[in-house]
Amino acid sequence: MKILAIAASNSRHSINRTLAAYAASLITEADVEVLDIHDYEMPIFSDQREQHFGQPLQARNFYRKIGSADALVIAFAEHNGSYTAAWKNLFDWTSRIDTRVFQNKPTVYLATSPGGGGASSVLESAVNSAQYFGADLVGQLSIPRFNENFDVKKRQLVNELFRTKLLKLMEALRARVSAKVRSEALVTTGGYPFK
C-alpha cells in the first residue's frame, strides 16, 4: 500500500507535515511518501496565464503523483481561517486538469495548529468540499495545541485521546484501501474470487 502524506502548507517547519507523516507511519506495512509542495510552486493561477502557458508541468506532476498512490493523508494548515495561499494555488491549477483532483483515493483529512482551534475552520471547509473534488473521505481529525500534544523528539502524539482517535482513523483508512483492492480484483477476474 502506498500512502501519499501531504501538508497543505509551504512552511519549511510545517507542523502539519509532521502530523501527516506521523499519521501515515501508523500503517506500518505502508510505503509512505511525504510530499513537499515546494516542489510544485507555480505562478498565481489566472485564466489568462492558463490560456497563455497551458497547464504547468508541476500541476501535471502533482496530479500524477496522487494517481500513483493508494491512499492520501492531507493535513491542512490554516491561514486567517482558510487554506494557505500555496495550497490554494496548487489546488486551483490541478483542478483545471481534472476537477476530481483526488481521483477517488481513500483519504484522511487532518489539521493542527499551535492554538486551541486546531485549524478546525479550514478542516471544515475541506471536509464540506471533499465530495466535489474526488476525495473518498474516510474521516477527519483536528489536533489543537500541537506543541503540547505532540512530542517532536519522540515524533509521536503524547495525548492518548488524540492518539487513539488517530489510530482508529488510520485503521479505517487501511481497511478502506484493502476493501477497494479486493473489489477491483473481483472486477478484474470477472467476479470470481481468488483461489
What is the model's pLDDT at position 67? 98
Query: Is residue 183 very low, low, confident or very high in pLDDT (cuts 50, 70, 90)?
Result: confident
**Distance (Å) of CA 143 to CA 34, 35, 83, 103, 147:** 19, 20, 16, 26, 10
- pLDDT one-digit tens code per residue, 51-87: 999 999 999 999 999 999 999 999 999 999 999 999 9
Percentage, residues of the chain above pLDDT 90: 91
Per-residue pLDDT, 182: 84
Task: Give residue 195's pLDDT.
Answer: 42
Distance from C-alpha of 167 to C-alpha of 28, rounded to nearest angstrom: 11
Question: Residue 9 and residue 37: Cα distance in Å, rounded?
Answer: 7
User: pLDDT per residue over 133-176, tens digit each?
Assistant: 999 999 999 999 999 999 999 999 999 999 999 999 999 999 99
The reported pTM is 0.93
Report the pLDDT averaged over residues 103-119: 97
Average pLDDT estimate for 7-32 = 96
> How large is the average pLDDT for residues 92-114?
98
Q: Which residue has the cell 500534544?
A: 149
Mean pLDDT taken over the chain: 94
Asked if 83 and 74 count as a contact pair (C-beta separation under 8 A), the reply is no
Q: Where are the alpha helices (DSSP H) in the chain?
A: 15-25, 47-53, 57-67, 85-95, 120-129, 146-149, 160-188
Handedness of CA 154, 21, 40, 50 (dihedral sign): negative
In contact, 157 and 150? CB cutoff 8 Å: yes
Contact 84, 119 (CB under 8 A): no
Sign, Cα dihedral of 133, 137, 129, 76: negative
Q: How many CB atoms lie within 10 A of CB 148?
A: 12
Three-point CA angle 149, 153, 159, nearest 5°:
20
Kindly state the average pLDDT of the residues 118-145: 98
Give the tens place of pLDDT for each residue, 91-100. 999 999 999 9
Residue 186, pLDDT > 80, answer no
